[in-house]
Homo-oligomer: A and B are copies of this chain.
Amino acid sequence: MTLRPLVAAALTLAFSLPQKHPPESAPQAAHRWRVAHEQQILQEFDTLLAIPDVASDTSNIRRNADALVQALQRRHVAARLLSIPGVNPVVYGDIKTPGAKHTIVFYAHYDGQPVTPGEWDGKGPCTPVTRMVNGEPRIFARAAADDKAAIIAQLTALDALQAAHVPLKANVRFVWEGEEEAGSTHLRDILEQYRTELGGDVWLICDGPVDQSGRQSVVFGARGVTRLEITLFGPNRELHSGHYGNWAPNPAMMLAQLVASMKDSTGHVLVPHFYDGVTPLSELERRAIADAPANEALLRQEFGLGHTDGDGKRLLELLNEPSLNIDGMTSARTGATANNVIPSTATADIDLRLVKGVDWKAEQQRVVDYVASRGYFVTDSTPDKAMLLAHPRVALVVRGRLGYNAVRTPMDLPIGQAVVKAVESARGPVVRLPTMGGSVPLEMIEQTVNAPPIMVPIANYDDNQHAANENLRLQNLWDGIETMAALEAMP
């Protein structure tokens, strides 16, 4: 209630300005609107964050989607859900601009990573709280940074442009996905079914963090991703380590020996053919990396790293190579509940990141082949005793059913230059990068709606994305609103 007079005053100001001053730029209009409406913006953000958003939680996913359709409709945007049966819907908004030469598509996702509430400080992943970090406010909640911030920035930018009567020049489309963190399982199906609605001259992927230096980045691609889970078997029940130690094989040791042999001590992957087919960087791409800030020292300090992998290569170079990462490794128990046992099983979850030229299924197969080459009989379903007895070593390898390949949009396309120009009008000189280390399903966009994807992230790099205590630095939201306003108003 106390906000009402402020809002009214701001609206009056917004509507009166065009008649008295030179027309505002989109970023200027966004800035003025934000300063006058911070509480209202945060209220809308908090309400969205309070809705649980794990992709498998379909009833809450639907609540998110419905709320977002309404948020677009409140802005007079033609909005609806693009659905196919049994799939989390895409929230779709469409603004047709008379005389437009281009159609700009804004992609974001409204689902978040799975959560382990006990690991969160405060009131858990779905109760947004603001806490100070390094003297600046941040909002802590699942999806605060990845990726609901982008959605709120796009909505608020619309408010600002409408209030300041800054006209749009292009057609603008919003495409907000509901299962990105589950691997964008059905996005391809939706893209194929709704090709007409989803086409455009460029897809702006508003996801991921800006450069660690704090400078705004525009990123022309992203790594692909897929997963594998490897489980090895010892005795079919935990055995007393005294009575059987030295004789009964220990699956934790077997797993250690198996995964240890997949990399050398610098992190270089030793799985045969792992780097085969990688498309080399172009001269323009190499130059962009050379021109980008060197953040390694900052990051080592920030993360407390006494050494780094990569044999001295720069982080940005290494993000243009495929990677093999252990997401987690478990066998029996450690700490207070540990027992003197030979564990029964040991499991490692592994994610593979792909770069241009490497197919995700082929890369999965190389890892599976490697496991087999180490003497394991590989099965994709839980082995029974007969199978375990029939082979010296058995590995249950569950391949992630889905994955996607990397994309690198050429850095010299005219539409890409226009995107950079718009972003720079809001944020000054940007960091241009050929590849984001994280993964976004860009490949299927190229393949279905034939649009070049370009990434314009807004989150802070130190956002605990994918982990407990995910957070968004508030200033990144404010900056992001101006960036989105500039892009929504681009020609």
* Nearest CB on B from A327, distance (A): 5
In contact, B307 and A334 (Cβ under 8 angstroms): no
A290 interfacial contact with B, CB 8 Å: no
A300 interfacial contact with B, CB 8 Å: yes
In contact, A304 and B236 (Cβ under 8 angstroms): yes
What mask results when residues 314 to 325 of chain A are scored 1 for a CB within 8 Å of chain B, else 0?
A: 010011010101
> Which of A30-38, A278-286, A348-356, A447-455 contacts its partner?
A348-356
A25 interfacial contact with B, CB 8 Å: no
What mask results when residues 237 to 280 of chain A are scored 1 for a CB within 8 Å of chain B, else 0?
A: 11111111111111011011101110101010000000000000
In contact, B304 and A327 (Cβ under 8 angstroms): no
A306 interfacial contact with B, CB 8 Å: yes
Measured CA separation A325–B343 after assembly (Å): 10
In contact, B466 and A340 (Cβ under 8 angstroms): yes
In contact, B303 and A239 (Cβ under 8 angstroms): yes
In contact, B238 and A464 (Cβ under 8 angstroms): yes
Measured CA separation A340–B392 after assembly (Å): 31
A340: chain B residues at CB < 8 Å are: 225, 227, 325, 327, 351, 466
The count of residues in chain A whose C-beta lies closer than 8 Å to any C-beta of chain B is 100
Known: A236-B303, A326-B250. A461 touches B332 (CB 8 A): no
In contact, B327 and A330 (Cβ under 8 angstroms): no
A27 interfacial contact with B, CB 8 Å: no
In contact, B341 and A305 (Cβ under 8 angstroms): no
Which residues of chain A from 281 to 301 have a CB within 8 Å of any chain B CB? 296, 299-301
A466: chain B residues at CB < 8 Å are: 238, 240-241, 339-341
In contact, B309 and A246 (Cβ under 8 angstroms): yes
In contact, B328 and A332 (Cβ under 8 angstroms): yes
In contact, A388 and B305 (Cβ under 8 angstroms): yes
In the complex, which of the residues B303, B333, B390 contacts A235, with contact meaning CB atoms closer than 8 Å? B303
In contact, B250 and A308 (Cβ under 8 angstroms): no
Which residues of chain A from 332 to 366 have a CB within 8 Å of any chain B CB? 332-343, 346-349, 351, 353
* Nearest CB on B from A19, distance (A): 46
Give the residue name and chain of the B residue nearest to A114 (CB). B337
In contact, B249 and A259 (Cβ under 8 angstroms): no
Known: A114-B337, A246-B267, A389-B306. A256 touches B326 (CB 8 A): yes
In contact, B243 and A436 (Cβ under 8 angstroms): yes
In contact, A253 and B243 (Cβ under 8 angstroms): no
In the complex, which of the residues B229, B250, B390 contacts A325, with contact meaning CB atoms closer than 8 Å? B250
A394: chain B residues at CB < 8 Å are: 306
* Nearest CB on B from A174, distance (A): 24
In contact, A242 and B334 (Cβ under 8 angstroms): no
Measured CA separation A392–B265 after assembly (Å): 12
A303: chain B residues at CB < 8 Å are: 235-237, 239, 248
Measured CA separation A252–B325 after assembly (Å): 9
A-B contact pairs, 14 of them (CB 8 A): A114-B337, A238-B466, A240-B438, A241-B323, A241-B466, A242-B353, A250-B267, A252-B328, A253-B260, A256-B329, A304-B389, A328-B331, A340-B351, A341-B467
Chain A residues within 8 Å of B, Cβ to Cβ: 113-114, 116, 208-209, 222-223, 225, 227, 229, 233-250, 252-253, 255-257, 259-261, 263, 265, 267, 296, 299-301, 303-310, 315, 318-319, 321, 323, 325-343, 346-349, 351, 353, 385, 388-394, 436-439, 461, 464-469
Those 4 A-B pairs whose CB atoms lie nearest each other, nearest first: A242-B438, A328-B332, A260-B260, A246-B318
Known: A238-B464, A327-B332. 14 other contacts (CB 8 A): A116-B337, A233-B304, A237-B464, A237-B469, A245-B353, A252-B259, A300-B389, A304-B388, A306-B388, A327-B338, A327-B340, A328-B341, A333-B349, A339-B467
